């Protein structure tokens, strides 16, 4: 029996809400990953959308989506954002955090008319900064979805596509802009966008933005914003850098954390399969066939590795596409669409390319390589088990990667079951090889793949230096490039840092 069924539910005295055990929470399809902590939060979990202070237009949009109860992050974030103060929110991927900030943001904006004079360009009132193109596009889609009964306008700007259409949208004027940092600065440089009247700033997946070396760009963006504004900072994990950013950015923020720091979603079954280095592709194909997996997201450490896995799966008759920074935006969009539609079973992605992808009920994530940055593990496996669905995360570990597993276990504060699949026993005489030097935070990562600063690179005419160099940069230069001064440098990336 579910633990929820055994425990009498005390009604939250402070609300008028009548608990209906048939409808909530048993009837809802969402909070299963949170059962572990539901006892602590049940009063909030049971709060219906109607009690959160949202307008009828937003409640209709939520109902149109088929949401029955707000997720815990929504229950806490929505009233906090509506109150107008700053917010520091720790939320894992897939917890519904986007609606947690988009809904109250839409409400706040729509409750005041846009302060623009007749004939003048609409001022930009809300800015959402995200680390990747995919996330920017996805968040903007949420803005449209939840705002469909309102009259606010929005657009997304990110790299990898031409500046032209984005420029005309921006010059026309929008209320809400979702942007990746590099491309936003390119538009700002060309005076396509004026950030001086932004009322609400959201930094989404802030930890990832810092990991990708976006801090200098973020600082530049902050300097262009008005002093008086509401700041919302969302992060799945909390590092010292995030805390430092929060200290600088936020004014007496309300702090919300819906899951223990750096923990992984409870609903995800995690396993590690020990295997020889050169048997990984055979094991992957076997797992897919044996379990009859229909939708699997596979992560590799490098772009080259992703292409190799795709070739090997295709050779085995398994439909697979690659998703990484060497692919054009068009190719990436198509790969994701094919994968979501189910016309290919497997998408093989590098970390940054896959960031922010939301695929309903994605059942399986495979780490073909264990990530050498432990936070990436949390993000990778967060692609499954989203919004209450069960998920499975399997990691293929060879003799080279034991230290990575230790780092991951330390971060998530749990031990992951390690198993050998019969027929794929690792060679006991295999000698460990160095994968490559552990990268430092913000060092030589991110934008080389083209999802980050490459976002702003593309068709940029801003000429902010360094784009055309063919010299391999020193690690320090690499960091500088990654931090926003130049186009992705894939020659450097192909050394193995090509995430």
CB 246 within 8 A of CB 281: no
Rounded least distance, CB 304 to ligand AMP, Å: 29
DSSP notation for 176-199: EEEE-HHHHHHHHHTTS---TT--
DSSP element (H, E) containing 397: strand 391-397
Rounded least distance, CB 12 to ligand AMP, Å: 18
DSSP notation for 357-382: ---TT--EEEESS--SSHHHHHHHHT
Binding mask 38-77 for ligand AMP (x = CB under 6 A): -----------------------------x--xx--x---
Number of residues in contact with ligand AMP under rule CB under 6 A: 16
Stretch that binds ligand AMP, among 87-95, 126-134, 180-188, 266-274 (CB under 6 A): 87-95
Q: Which positions from 368 through 407 interact with ligand AMP, judged by CB under 6 A?
A: 386-387
Nearer to ligand AMP, 94 or 371 (CB): 94
Rounded least distance, CB 89 to ligand AMP, Å: 11
CB 345 within 8 A of CB 320: yes
Rounded least distance, CB 493 to ligand AMP, Å: 28
Binding mask 92-111 for ligand AMP (x = CB under 6 A): -xxxxxxx------------
Residue 448 Cα distances to 106, 352, 482, angstroms: 34, 10, 6
- Please enumerate in sequence order all residues whose Cβ is within 8 A of that of 358, keeping only pairs 6 or more positions apart, or say none: 94, 138, 386
d(CA 134, CA 348): 15
Q: Which positions from 302 through 361 interact with ligand AMP, judged by CB under 6 A?
A: 358, 360
Rounded least distance, CB 33 to ligand AMP, Å: 11
Nearer to ligand AMP, 71 or 279 (CB): 71
Rounded least distance, CB 61 to ligand AMP, Å: 12
Site for ligand AMP (CB under 6 A): which residue of 30, 404, 492, 497? 30
Cis amide leading into 187 (omega within 30): no
Beta bridge partners of 296: 346, 364
Nearer to ligand AMP, 93 or 479 (CB): 93
- Please enumerate in sequence order all residues whose Cβ is within 8 A of that of 8, keeping only pairs 6 or more positions apart, or say none: none
Nearer to ligand AMP, 25 or 457 (CB): 25
The beta-strand segments (E) located in 123-222 are 126-129, 154-157, 176-179, 200-203
CB 279 within 8 A of CB 288: no
Nearer to ligand AMP, 71 or 110 (CB): 71
Write out the residues near ligand AMP by the rule CB under 6 A.
30, 67, 70-71, 74, 93-99, 358, 360, 386-387
């Amino acid at each position: 029996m579910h633990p929820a069924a055994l425990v009498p539910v005390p009604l939250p005295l402070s609300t008028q809400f009548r608990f209906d055990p048939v409808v909530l929470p048993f009837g809802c399809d969402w909070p299963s990953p949170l059962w572990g902590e539901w006892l602590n939060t049940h009063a909030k979990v049971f709060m219906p959308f109607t009690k959160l202070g949202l307008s009828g237009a937003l409640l209709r949009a939520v109902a149109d989506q088929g949401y029955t109860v707000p997720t815990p992050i929504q229950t806490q974030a929505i009233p906090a954002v509506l109150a107008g103060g700053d917010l520091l929110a720790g939320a894992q991927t897939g917890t519904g955090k986007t609606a947690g900030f988009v809904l109250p943001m839409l409400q706040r904006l729509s409750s005041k008319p846009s302060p623009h004079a007749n004939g003048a360009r609409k001022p930009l009132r809300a800015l959402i900064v995200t680390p990747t193109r995919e996330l920017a596009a996805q968040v903007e889609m949420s803005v449209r979805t939840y705002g469909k009964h309102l009259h606010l306008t929005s657009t997304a700007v990110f790299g990898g596509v031409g500046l032209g259409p984005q420029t005309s949208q921006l010059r026309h004027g929008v209320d809400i802009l979702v942007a990746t940092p590099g491309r936003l600065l390119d538009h700002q440089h060309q005076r396509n966008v004026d950030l001086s009247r932004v009322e609400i700033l959201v930094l989404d997946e802030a930890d990832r933005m810092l990991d990708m070396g976006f801090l200098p760009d973020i600082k530049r963006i902050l300097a262009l914003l008005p002093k008086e504004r509401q700041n919302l900072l969302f992060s799945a994990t909390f590092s010292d850098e995030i805390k430092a950013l929060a200290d600088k950015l936020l004014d007496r923020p309300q702090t919300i954390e819906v899951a223990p720091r750096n923990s992984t979603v409870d609903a995800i079954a995690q396993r590690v399969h020990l295997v020889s280095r050169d048997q990984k592709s055979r094991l992957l194909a076997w797992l897919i066939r044996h379990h009859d997996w229909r939708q699997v997201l596979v992560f590799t450490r490098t772009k080259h590795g992703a292409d190799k896995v795709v070739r090997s799966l295709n050779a085995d008759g398994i439909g697979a596409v690659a998703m990484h920074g060497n692919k054009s935006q068009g190719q990436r969009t198509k790969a994701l669409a094919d994968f979501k539609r189910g016309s290919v079973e497997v998408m093989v992605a590098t970390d940054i390319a896959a960031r922010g992808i939301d695929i309903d009920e994605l059942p399986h994530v495979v780490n073909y390589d264990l990530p050498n940055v432990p936070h990436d593990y949390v993000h990778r496996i967060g692609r499954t088990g989203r919004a209450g669905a069960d998920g499975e995360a399997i990691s293929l570990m060879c003799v080279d990667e034991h230290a990575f597993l230790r780092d991951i276990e330390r971060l998530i504060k749990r031990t992951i079951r390690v198993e050998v699949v019969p027929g794929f026993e690792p060679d006991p005489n295999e000698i460990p090889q160095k994968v490559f030097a552990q990268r430092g935070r913000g060092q030589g990562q991110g934008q080389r793949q083209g999802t980050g600063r490459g976002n702003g690179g593309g068709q940029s005419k801003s000429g902010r230096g360094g784009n055309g160099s063919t010299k391999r940069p020193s690690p320090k230069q690499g960091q500088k490039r990654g931090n926003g001064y130049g186009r992705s440098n894939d020659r450097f990336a192909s050394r193995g840092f090509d995430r």
